[in-house]
Amino acid sequence: MAAFLASLRVFSHVIGPEEFDDYRQNGVLRFLHVPTRFPPALRATHILIYGKTLARNESAALVQCIAAVMEEFIPPNIISNDIRRGLEGARLVFGIVLCGVRGPPSRQHENTDTQGSVFLVLPATIHSM
């Protein structure tokens, strides 16, 4: 759990308004929506973007959602096939989201159709890691 909380702290700082503009913050939400399809986790992420503190139920929604995404897309050998260490892989999920949203600077203002195809390709890419 400590690894998840440390990763979440860094993630919430990086996606905040100091480092990300509105376009990229919306990209984070769009990017998380593809593998999760879970609005409470998106709401919790939106709250973190603005530097607010999550309520207990919002924290639980985010933790469970990230854990489910991690179980689906991150190979178990990364966490030594130990399910007790499952949340340690959350840093990879957050990293994938940040890489997908940041991308090369030239892609920052592409149209949404192109970005949508990138998002749909991502789960297959993660699964093959």
Give the pLDDT confidence of 27-56 residue by residue, as tens digits.
999 989 988 899 999 999 999 999 899 999
**Which position has the token pair 């592409």?**
110
Q: Read off the pTM.
A: 0.71
Dist CA 121 CA 101 (whole Å): 14
Dist CA 77 CA 98 (whole Å): 23
Give the pLDDT confidence of 72-123 residue by residue, as tens digits.
888 888 878 877 777 778 888 898 888 888 875 544 444 444 444 333 334 4
Dist CA 126 CA 129 (whole Å): 5
CB 102 within 8 A of CB 24: yes
